[in-house]
Amino acid sequence: MTEQFDAVEVIAAKRDRHELSDAQIDWIVDAYTRGAVADEQMSALAMAILLNGMNRREIARWTAAMIASGERMDFSTLSWPTADKHSTGGVGDKITLPLAPLVAACGVAVPQLSGRGLGHTGGTLDKLEAIPGWRAALTNDEMMAQLDSVGAVICAAGAGLAPADKKLYALRDVTGTVEAIPLIASSIMSKKIAEGTGALVLDVKVGSGAFMKSEADARELAETMVALGTDAGVRTVALLTDMSTPLGLTAGNACEVAESVEVLAGGGPRDVVDLTVALAREMLEAAGKNDIDPADALADGRAMDVWKAMIRAQGGDPDAALPVARHTHDVVAQSDGLLTRLDAFAVGVAAWRLGAGRSRPGENVQAAAGVVMHAKPGDRVTAGQPLLTLHTDTPERFDRAIEALADGYDIGADAPGDRSVVIDRIGS
């Protein structure tokens, strides 16, 4: 067939800081999905978008083109109201695992289509695959049946849902273009709008371990996504949350599953519990269930019951032992004092280098690889005390992981100031 445009013209237009027309956007998204635009050409355009940006019209059109590349789901036949949550990615961000069953335990179904690890941030599906037998791939019929019976599902997006995004998501991961706000916003919102959920709560991370390092960038991303969702008829709100320090005390796959189960059992680190409950409250309110306190469902075991049912429904054994790494190494404190900083990015890169993440699309990850933290900022430590324990099946990875952590923490005399994990809320 004769193509409507030439890819080089579209790349050059954005390279030279011009706006792309609706027709150009529609064509290049479709042509890339069909294979008529090569990966290296879309890589060049993604870099031009990262460097030169897009305006609101371009982002909205790009999102619509990605939605149009595939099917749309419809949950209107469910007997439950629906709400979904999406995080922009962080280190130790296992919140989806306890959150989905918690919200379902309160009467709102959660169709959570999740992804793989991206760069130094972990992927929800990679974490859950550490559970023996659990499977990420469900048909639409299986997903609907599980939502009706259990109320929660965490699975991979089907091949028919925004296939343009599936290709572009993998490409961005290996071409240094993950951080482009237009591409993040359109990637997330194309899937969430096509997914058909009635309400959406966005967890937009800000800090060293997030893709958005500054609060201004995180706010711009949150406002962009809230506007895209609202315009599409999805009740959308966003929380800006702190990602300067890892969430909880684990970063990896199996170790984050274990910590999530602790939260569902009524324990777990305070920051993980606080953020889980805060997001659950937003999801319940957005779905019209603001008379229910999700903290009660954590305390009385209802959320744990849904978790076990959700894992079993996808072939997993919630009571099975999780994988354990064959090798560990302790990073110890060099002096007495207070831990004043523990950098999320450094911990994320260390976990990635240990084998918890991937450096190219389709690469296998190690279920047991990761970092376990023994102190958080504000804690008193003594010289020789383990601060972090590194886990991997391939000990030759230790040196590079230790290198990533070299400037990743500080020990001093003054306690760091308290900072709430939730910084702000955006949306009506």
pLDDT digits (tens, 9 = 90+) for 364-402: 899 999 999 999 999 999 999 999 999 999 999 999 999
The pLDDT, as a whole number, for residue 118 is 65
Which domain CATH number covers 370?
3.90.1170.30
Active site residue 326: no
Confidence of residue 195 (pLDDT cuts 50, 70, 90): confident
In this structure, the answer to whether residues 252 and 366 fall within a common structural domain is: no
Buried b / exposed e over 355-367, threshold 16 CB at 10 Å, is bbbbeeeeeebbb
pLDDT at 121 exceeding the cut of 80: no
| 420 is a domain residue | no
What's the domain count of the chain? 3
In this structure, the answer to whether residues 202 and 103 fall within a common structural domain is: yes
In this structure, the answer to whether residues 354 and 314 fall within a common structural domain is: no
Confidence of residue 235 (pLDDT cuts 50, 70, 90): very high
Determine which one of 187, 190, 244, 260 is catalytic. 187
**Which amino acid, residue 193?**
I
| 118 is a domain residue | yes
In this structure, the answer to whether residues 313 and 331 fall within a common structural domain is: no
In this structure, the answer to whether residues 234 and 379 fall within a common structural domain is: no
Buried b / exposed e over 25-37, threshold 16 CB at 10 Å, is bbbbbbbbbeeeb
Highest mean pLDDT: which range of 114-123, 231-240, 352-361, 408-417: 231-240
| 31 is a domain residue | yes
- Domain of residue 44 covers 7-53
Active site residue 341: no
pLDDT at 159 exceeding the cut of 80: no
Using alpha carbons, list the distances in angstroms from residue 11 to 37, 51, 177, 341, 382. 11, 12, 15, 42, 55
In this structure, the answer to whether residues 93 and 37 fall within a common structural domain is: no
| 77 is a domain residue | no
Partners of residue 129 on adjacent β-strands = none
pTM: 0.90
In this structure, the answer to whether residues 261 and 302 fall within a common structural domain is: yes
What average pLDDT score do residues 158-185 get?
Answer: 86
In this structure, the answer to whether residues 157 and 236 fall within a common structural domain is: yes
The pLDDT, as a whole number, for residue 416 is 80
In this structure, the answer to whether residues 21 and 161 fall within a common structural domain is: no
The pLDDT, as a whole number, for residue 119 is 66
Active site residue 191: yes
| 58 is a domain residue | no
Which domain CATH number covers 157?
3.40.1030.10
- 3-state SS track over 12-29: HHHHCCCCCCHHHHHHHH
In this structure, the answer to whether residues 232 and 92 fall within a common structural domain is: yes
Active site residue 244: no
**Structure confidence by residue, pLDDT tens digits, 17-60:** 999 999 999 999 999 999 999 999 999 999 999 999 999 999 99
pLDDT at 339 exceeding the cut of 80: yes
Q: Is 305 left (phi over 0), alpha (psi -120 to 50) or beta?
A: alpha
The pLDDT, as a whole number, for residue 381 is 96
Determine which one of 14, 85, 86, 167 is catalytic. 86
Which residues lie below 8 Å from residue 51, measured CB to CB, with a gap of 6+?
Answer: none
In this structure, the answer to whether residues 147 and 16 fall within a common structural domain is: no
- DSSP state string for 74-100: --TTSSS-B-EEEE---SS--THHHHH
Percentage of the chain with pLDDT > 70? 99
Determine which one of 61, 127, 166, 172 is catalytic. 172
Active site residue 327: no
Confidence of residue 303 (pLDDT cuts 50, 70, 90): very high
pLDDT at 359 exceeding the cut of 80: no
What average pLDDT score do residues 231-259 get?
Answer: 95
Determine which one of 165, 203, 242, 343 is catalytic. 165
| 267 is a domain residue | yes
| 76 is a domain residue | no
| 65 is a domain residue | no
Which domain CATH number covers 44?
1.20.970.10
In this structure, the answer to whether residues 133 and 197 fall within a common structural domain is: yes
